[in-house]
Amino acid sequence: MIFYTLSVVCFLLGIISFFKNKLSCIFAVLGSVFSIAVGILGFERSLNILNLALFQDVSLRLGIDKTSSIFLIIAFISFGIIAFYSIDFNKLFSKRMALFINISMLAMFFVLTAQDAISFLISFECITIAIFFSILERKNTYKEAFSFLAFSEVSSIALFIAFGALWAQTGSFIIANAVGNIVFMSFAYLAFIIKMDITPFHVWISSTYSKSPSNVAAILSVPVTLIGTYGIFRIFALNPNIEIFAIISILLGSVSALWGALQAARSRSLKKLPAYSTIENNSMILASLGIAYLTANTQSLQYLSQFAMLTALFIIISHSFSKTALFLSIGHAKEAFSEELIDNVGGVFKYVSKITGLGIIIAGLSLSAFPPLIGFVSDWMLLETFFQSYKIDDLSLKLIITFSGILITLAIGLSSFGMKKLIGFSALGTKTKEVINIESLTMKISEAILIFLVIALGFISPLIVIGLGYPAFLDGLLAVPKPLLIVSSRPIFGVLSPTIFAIMIFIFFVALWKLKSKEKDVKRVSPWVGGLEVLSTESFKIGAYSFIVESLLKPLNQTKEIREGDTAYVYSIDLIETFYSFITKLSNKISSFFSKTIMNSSIHWYIAYIIGAFIITLMYFKFTR
Amino acid sequence: MKRLLGIISSDKTEKLLVSSGTFTGLVDLSQKKDFKYYDWLRDRDSVYTDSNITSEEVFNFRLGPLAGANQECSIYHLKTYGERMLAVNIDQTYKSRKIEDLMVGRSFDEAIPLAESVCSNFAFSHSVAFTQAIEEALGLELSGYSKLLRVIFLEIERIYNHIYVIAKLSISAAQKVYSSHLLYLFERCISLNSKYFNSTFLKKIKKVGEVKDFPKELFLNYLEELKKVVNEFKKIYNFSLDSRNYLDRLHNTGILTIEDFYNTGFDGPALKAMNYSLDIREFSKTTKNFKPILEEEGDSLARMIVRAKEVSQSLEIIEESIELFQETQPESPKSLKTSQKRDSGIGQSESASGTITYYVEIKDQKIEFVYISTPSTFLFRAIQKALVGQIFTDFPFTVDSFGAFFCDCAR
């Protein structure tokens, strides 16, 4: 309780002291530390924090259980690092930035501890509003901020309906009572997958993530989408018997993962690529949860169900830290070069900062499933989850999971393709522009912490398995001692030891380093191709790297090769965006029609509207009583 | 149809070397407007630059000078935004040996090896065109005996060149067994050359006013062995036409149109693959019944078919010529009337890839000026056109279907 209060107090102090950016951010960091402490304590035993009766049957209830604890720890490690990063980064923006960060952190804290619909909705809306204004901190971002707001409000409306259904069934707003309520489940599911940026509700992210300040993009990618993930965990736990949602999750998750990875592979923008990668990661979580709940009610598949649940948690951890590291590092690079395209930020490692370059490399490699990083462990577990699903008896379910597994595998491959592009052209690329000096000590420290986490969490993944309460998935085999082996099936069939992997890679790395350091007289020469030095005009560009994906999947990307005189370029678009563009144009036309014909400030139409509304209301009450 | 073969500026005046099948000669500069490719032909030894496509995404993909895809030292500058070749500029200058300059001041016998070294694959064709130009300048006409020998060797050269080009094309299309077999046949051909005529690439056979004589029965023995090679070629070639995978790679690849001909002036199998011919054998008295092989599609497949059919056609010509040759007795070259002697001459031969033309000016039995017009000069220009708009995968299928050589182009 004391840590809970300290967290809230720190965030409030952060809000009050927003005009002092550094102080405000320090309060945000302290608040995160206390929130993590709350999470750790809540993981040991559930806590009831507040139960405040407002009216009869209506009360505000705050508390912590195991699920909210896990999410609190993950979200506030990420949030805390973002807040520390913001000490220097916020100097590039107005002082209001610290205010919005503290508000969103406080609201997030309440979202993850809310046990009733009212406190959940209020906190949920507070995050939306704080993020909306923080997006506006970058100039000319009205369109992007409103796109975010529109999708968030659709999510809120769906939640309103879900909680309305909860009230209609139980006469209360306590979320834990929503057991077996199909209407609640349907609308809450919709609300949370929108929040997770699952395809086809993702179209706003490419422009919004791209235009937002990088710390806000990191918040959007990790803590904000964690709300959706948290919500899905909650509603599945309340309704484990509704199989159809599990199947939808597997199918939607796999299709969405592939779509996200595909768009990431196509992307040329520094922040659009990780934005699309967010869709892929969240979709993988959804698919994994789908398998966990599809198999939860079959006694013989309990091991698989639990393994799928553990997989979902691992992907959350991997996504949260790798993606935060990536957004913060590329944000640093973006500001240092004042550029948005990957092609134009070459040489981050050499010219911006080694830590920043390493941040992009390590985070990118983790998201490419490079061993022994945490992303590798989570992707291996996800594939194992799909492989082990052969144990499901039902043939149609087998076919669905096989099909989804194929899509997920393709998604992982394409994701690796996209991340290598980002690493190769930005962190390790050729410098094309002079670097702007920005004060970046806290930014570098934050990036370094995240690099450490991404590497270390892969190494200690057996400890995480134990920490999350799943020791049954650890074993030993041959030369690998117990509990360093993660086991995906019993009898043992499908194993991985990230720790041993990491040790072996470290040994090889040290051996190579030693060998290299012995060669004192190594002559360095300029790179050449075909016998001549490479000119700047001959450097491979990112468009060329992406073109193979755009060209092969022409119908999906609407790829067009444009030639205008001596200018040539490739144009492609996310196909789903064309659908939303159509909807936007249609609604603009309809609203324009209404504003010109009916709502055109004409007194006659206004009176007719009032009378019409009055008659409809009377009729309603007449026939419904 | 007429072609501009070269721009001659031996003295201070500039003249055009043109050909229209029945006529080959120098014309006034005023006719340059008829040839769209006059400007680049004038600067044929510099890098051809077609267009300067720009955008943030476009970059120059440089292939060469040393690259696995290039069998000779050269550079393909491929402007691209990935996969698609938007513009192609070819730098052939690495192979330039300035052979024309080296010939100046030399005697005819000293210059022949230089002509033969322009491109070993076309060594005999070059020696024929060069000596023919000298013969014209000297007012000499070859005897019927020598003319028959000349035809035989030109067709022999055509057979092994066509087999070589088809082998290269099949290597590009990953037809490993087929290409190895074709390369064996090519090796067989040139080893037959070595065995019967003492020169792998038929060098030192053509001299001014004569062709080196060989015993008549030697040709009969040679013909038997050549027939075996050609029959084996026909067998495996027909077998290769069953591979849809192979043909798909060549079909609709590197298509040329008549507009491309007017812009570049290429000839040889590349032009015949578009249903047009400027083959000088049509107008030669020695090969009077000659009918060119024509195809219509203008793509890599059509070019390959023309070559394959020409292999059989060449064998038939060789057979007929050897038959005639058995009945003909050696003679000395005929000396023309003094009024027909000039200080300059034009010589031509139809090589496997197109017409080779030499314009020479002589003084005191020495070369004073030479202009060499090679088929590869025009073919690389055509390759530039054919590559534009295609994807990288089609690069080898296009380039190798033309049978062009950088050494021939750059001289």
pLDDT in tens, A327-375: 999 999 988 888 888 888 888 888 889 999 999 999 999 999 998 899 9
Kindly report the nearest CA distance between residue B249 and chain A, in angstroms: 17
Does the beta carbon of A532 lie under 8 angstroms from any beta carbon of chain B?
Answer: yes
CA distance A389 to A406: 13
Among A196, A221, A239, residue at a domain's last position? A239
- Give the phi and the psi of residue B28 in degrees, each rounded to 5: -70, 150
DSSP assignment of B156-208 equals HHHHHHHHHHHHHHHHHTT-HHHHHHHHHHHHHHHHHHHHHHS-TT-TT-EET
**Domain assignment present for A108:** yes
| Claim to verify: residue A207 and residue A339 sit in the same structural domain | no
Residue A399: which domain range? 248-464
Mapped onto helix, strand or coil, the DSSP state of residue A371 is coil
pLDDT band for position A309 (cuts 50, 70, 90)? very high
Among A184, A218, A239, residue at a domain's last position? A239
Q: Please count the other Cβ atoms lying within 10 Å of the Cβ belonging to residue A81.
A: 26
Q: Can you tell me the mean pLDDT for B388-399?
A: 89
In B22-122, alpha helices (H) = 38-42, 99-103, 108-116
Q: Can you tell me the mean pLDDT for B220-240?
A: 91
| Claim to verify: residue A94 and residue A194 sit in the same structural domain | yes
pLDDT in tens, B358-393: 999 888 888 888 999 999 999 998 998 899 889 888
Describe the crossing of helices A498-518 and A441-459 by its angle, rounded to 10 degrees: 120
Kindly determine whether residue A544 and residue B82, on different chains, have CB atoms separated by under 8 Å: yes
pLDDT at A478: 84
CA distance A132 to A152: 10
Kindly determine whether residue B58 and residue A568, on different chains, have CB atoms separated by under 8 Å: yes
- Is residue A227 within 8 Å of residue A127, measured between CB atoms? yes
In three state form, how does the secondary structure of A524-569 look?
CCCCEECCEECCHHHCCCHHHHHHHHHHHCHHHHCCEEEEECCEEE
**Per-chain mean pLDDT for chain A:** 89
Region of residue A558 (phi > 0: left; psi between -120 and 50: alpha; otherwise: beta): left
Kindly determine whether residue A539 and residue B59, on different chains, have CB atoms separated by under 8 Å: yes
CA distances A484 to A407, A466, A478, Å, are: 30, 11, 11
pLDDT at A507: 93
Does the beta carbon of B247 lie under 8 angstroms from any beta carbon of chain A?
Answer: no
Contacts of residue A409, Cβ cutoff 8 Å, sequence gap at least 6? A383, A386
pLDDT at A297: 85
Mutate to test the interface with A, among B57, B83, B91, B394 (most CBs of A within 10 A): B57
pLDDT surpasses 60 at A80: yes
Residues of A in contact with B64 (CB under 8 A): 530-531
* Burial of residue B346, with CB atoms counted within 10 A of its CB: 0-12 exposed, 13-18 middle, 19 or more buried: buried
Among A442, A464, A486, residue at a domain's last position? A464
| Claim to verify: residue A234 and residue A256 sit in the same structural domain | no
Kindly determine whether residue B60 and residue A569, on different chains, have CB atoms separated by under 8 Å: no
pLDDT band for position A616 (cuts 50, 70, 90)? very high
Mutate to test the interface with B, among A539, A567, A571 (most CBs of B within 10 A): A567
CA distance A290 to A326: 27
Kindly determine whether residue A567 and residue B61, on different chains, have CB atoms separated by under 8 Å: no
DSSP assignment of A478-530 equals TTEEEEEEEESSTTT-SEE-HHHHHHHHHHHHHHHHHHHHH-TTPPP---EET
Q: Please count the other Cβ atoms lying within 10 Å of the Cβ belonging to residue B342.
A: 13
CA distance B276 to B279: 9
Kindly determine whether residue B55 and residue A544, on different chains, have CB atoms separated by under 8 Å: no
Q: What is the ipTM of this complex?
A: 0.72
**Residue B366, strand partner residues:** B107, B363
pLDDT band for position A121 (cuts 50, 70, 90)? very high
Kindly determine whether residue A547 and residue B84, on different chains, have CB atoms separated by under 8 Å: yes
**Per-chain mean pLDDT for chain B:** 87
Does the beta carbon of B67 lie under 8 angstroms from any beta carbon of chain A?
Answer: yes
Count structural domains, chain A: 3
CA distance A119 to A65: 16
CA distance B93 to B42: 15
Does the beta carbon of A263 lie under 8 angstroms from any beta carbon of chain B?
Answer: no
Kindly determine whether residue A567 and residue B54, on different chains, have CB atoms separated by under 8 Å: yes
CA distance A21 to A548: 45
pLDDT band for position B336 (cuts 50, 70, 90)? low
Contacts of residue A165, Cβ cutoff 8 Å, sequence gap at least 6? A181, A183, A184, A187
Q: Domains along chain B?
A: 100-369 (1.10.645.10)
Residues of B in contact with A545 (CB under 8 A): 82
Q: Which amino acid is at B239?
A: F
Give the neighbor-by-neighbor strand order of the sheet with B344-351.
Answer: B344-351, B354-363, B366-373
CA distance B409 to B411: 6
- Is residue B398 within 8 Å of residue B256, measured between CB atoms? no
**Domain assignment present for A553:** no
pLDDT surpasses 80 at B334: no
pLDDT in tens, B115-130: 999 998 899 999 999 9
**Domain assignment present for A127:** yes
- Is residue A401 within 8 Å of residue A384, measured between CB atoms? no
Reference B170, options B156, B147, B186, B148; nearest CA is B186
| Claim to verify: residue A264 and residue A212 sit in the same structural domain | no
| Claim to verify: residue A159 and residue A228 sit in the same structural domain | yes
**Residue B334, strand partner residues:** B141
Q: Can you tell me the mean pLDDT for A132-152?
A: 89
CA distance A30 to A49: 20
Kindly determine whether residue B81 and residue A537, on different chains, have CB atoms separated by under 8 Å: no
Q: Can you tell me the mean pLDDT for A550-579?
A: 85
- For residue A479, the Cα-to-chain-centroid distance in whole angstroms is 37
CA distance B167 to B254: 18
pLDDT surpasses 60 at B339: no
pLDDT in tens, A181-215: 889 999 999 999 999 989 888 888 888 888 888 88
Does the beta carbon of A527 lie under 8 angstroms from any beta carbon of chain B?
Answer: no
Kindly determine whether residue A530 and residue B65, on different chains, have CB atoms separated by under 8 Å: yes
* Burial of residue A448, with CB atoms counted within 10 A of its CB: 0-12 exposed, 13-18 middle, 19 or more buried: middle
Q: What b-and-e string marks burial along B365-402, b requiring 16 or more CB atoms within 10 Å of the CB?
A: eebebbbbbbbbbbbbbbbbbbbbebbbebbbbbbbbb
Of B54, B59, B84, the CB nearest to A541: B59
Q: Which amino acid is at B179?
A: S
Kindly determine whether residue A343 and residue B56, on different chains, have CB atoms separated by under 8 Å: yes
**Domain assignment present for A124:** yes
Q: Can you tell me the mean pLDDT for A393-401?
A: 90
| Claim to verify: residue A168 and residue A291 sit in the same structural domain | no
pLDDT at B43: 82
Contacts of residue A546, Cβ cutoff 8 Å, sequence gap at least 6? A265, A266, A267, A268, A421, B82
Q: Which amino acid is at B119?
A: C
| Claim to verify: residue A165 and residue A254 sit in the same structural domain | no
pLDDT band for position A576 (cuts 50, 70, 90)? confident
**Domain assignment present for A552:** no
CA distance A237 to B194: 86
pLDDT band for position A287 (cuts 50, 70, 90)? very high
Q: Can you tell me the mean pLDDT for A66-70?
A: 92
pLDDT surpasses 90 at B326: no
pLDDT surpasses 70 at B48: no
- Is residue A262 within 8 Å of residue A549, measured between CB atoms? yes
| Claim to verify: residue A198 and residue A292 sit in the same structural domain | no
| Claim to verify: residue A309 and residue A165 sit in the same structural domain | no
- Is residue A214 within 8 Å of residue A334, measured between CB atoms? yes
| Claim to verify: residue A232 and residue A284 sit in the same structural domain | no
**Domain assignment present for A10:** yes
The whole model's pTM is what? 0.82
**Domain assignment present for A280:** yes
CA distance A267 to A419: 10
Does the beta carbon of B68 lie under 8 angstroms from any beta carbon of chain A?
Answer: no
pLDDT at A156: 93
A-B CB pairs within 8 A amount to 80
Dihedral sign, Cα of residue A47, residue A52, residue A53, residue A54:
negative
| Claim to verify: residue A277 and residue A188 sit in the same structural domain | no
In three state form, how does the secondary structure of B251-290 look?
CCCCCCCHHHHHHHCCCCHHHHCCCCCCCHHHHCCCCCCC
pLDDT at B337: 59
- The pair of structure tokens assigned to B245 is 């995978």
Describe the crossing of helices A441-459 and A66-89 by its angle, rounded to 10 degrees: 150
pLDDT band for position B289 (cuts 50, 70, 90)? confident
3-state helix, strand, coil in chain A (%, to 5): 75, 10, 20
**Domain assignment present for A229:** yes
| Claim to verify: residue A211 and residue A306 sit in the same structural domain | no
pLDDT surpasses 90 at B33: no
Reference A97, options A109, A85, A108; nearest CA is A85
pLDDT at A555: 85
pLDDT in tens, A513-541: 888 887 777 777 777 788 888 887 888 88
- The pair of structure tokens assigned to A452 is 């450490």
CA distance A425 to A450: 21
pLDDT at B341: 57
Q: Can you tell me the mean pLDDT for A66-80?
A: 93
Kindly determine whether residue A569 and residue B82, on different chains, have CB atoms separated by under 8 Å: no
- Is residue A292 within 8 Å of residue A308, measured between CB atoms? yes
- Kindly report the CA angle at A503 between A499 and A509, in degrees rounded to 5? 140
pLDDT band for position A155 (cuts 50, 70, 90)? very high
CA distance A234 to A159: 13
- Is residue A285 within 8 Å of residue A315, measured between CB atoms? yes
Does the beta carbon of B65 lie under 8 angstroms from any beta carbon of chain A?
Answer: yes
- The pair of structure tokens assigned to B165 is 């080009």
**What long-range pairs does B108-111 form, CB within 8 A, spacing at least 24?**
B108/B134, B108/B208, B108/B362, B108/B365, B108/B367, B109/B207, B109/B208, B111/B367, B111/B370
Reference B229, options B193, B199, B185; nearest CA is B185
Dihedral sign, Cα of residue A156, residue A161, residue A166, residue A171:
positive
